[in-house]
Amino acid sequence: MTLSFLIPAIILLIGAAAANVLRNLVHCVLALTLTFAGFALLYLGLGAEFLGLVQLLVYVGAIAILIVFTVLLTGGGVQGERHVLSPRWFQGFVLSVLVFLLLGYGITKSSFTTHAATSVDSYPVSLIGDRLMTNYSLPLEILGVLLTAATIGGVVLAIREPRQQTKESE
C-alpha cells in the first residue's frame, strides 16, 4: 500500500462518492472528472505512461466535456437548489456499496490474483505502436471503422436538419 497508490485512490474515491451523492448534476460531472483524473494518476503510478496520458486526453479532455454538454442540453443544470446532497443519497450510497462488493467478489475469484505481476519498469511507446501494427492490427482496423461510422453518423445528423427546413419552406 504505497503512497503512489494511496493518493490517487483517495482522490478517485472522493470523486466517485461526490458524483453519486451531490444534488447539482453539473457538480456531479465535475466530480466524475476528478475520478477520471484519479484513474490517470493510478495508471501513471503503475508505469503505464501512455495509457495514463491518453486517459487524461480522452476522458478528461473529451468525454467529460461530452457529458457536460449532454447534461446542459437536456436541462440538467437547473439552478435553485440549496441543499448540497440529493434527497436519495442514502439509496445511492447503498447501491454503490453493493456494486463494489459484487465487483470485488468477481475480481478476487478470478485468476488476476493468482498470477504474479510481471513488473516492467516502463516500456517505450514505440512498443505499443509496434504491437498495434503487427499483433493487434485487426482491433485497430475495427476501431478505425467504428470511428468512421461515428463521424459519418454525426455528419448525417447535422445535415438532415437543413434539408427538412428547405422542404418545409418550399
- Nearer to other proteins by C-beta: 102 or 141? 141
* From candidates 2, 3, 169, 170, binder to other proteins by CB under 8 A: 169
Question: Given the rule CB under 8 A, which of 12-20, 21-29, 99-107, 136-144 is the region that contacts other proteins?
Answer: 21-29
Contact 43, 52 (CB under 8 A): yes
The Cβ of residue 92 has, within 10 Å, a number of other Cβ atoms equal to 16
Residue with Cβ nearer other proteins (20 or 40): 40
> Do 20 and 96 form a contact (C-beta atoms < 8 A)?
yes
Provide φ and ψ at 22, rounded to 5°.
Answer: -70, 150
Q: Which stretch binds other proteins (CB under 8 A): 100-108, 110-118, 139-147, 161-169?
A: 161-169
Rounded Cα–Cα distance for residues 85 and 78 (Å): 15
64 binds other proteins (CB under 8 A): yes
In residues, how long is the chain?
170
Cα angle, residue 137 at apex, residues 49 and 44 outer, rounded to 5°: 10
Q: Please give the residue ranges that form the binding site for other proteins (CB under 8 A).
A: 24, 26-27, 30, 33, 37, 40, 49-50, 53-54, 56-57, 60-62, 64-65, 68, 72, 77, 79, 122, 124-126, 162, 165-166, 169
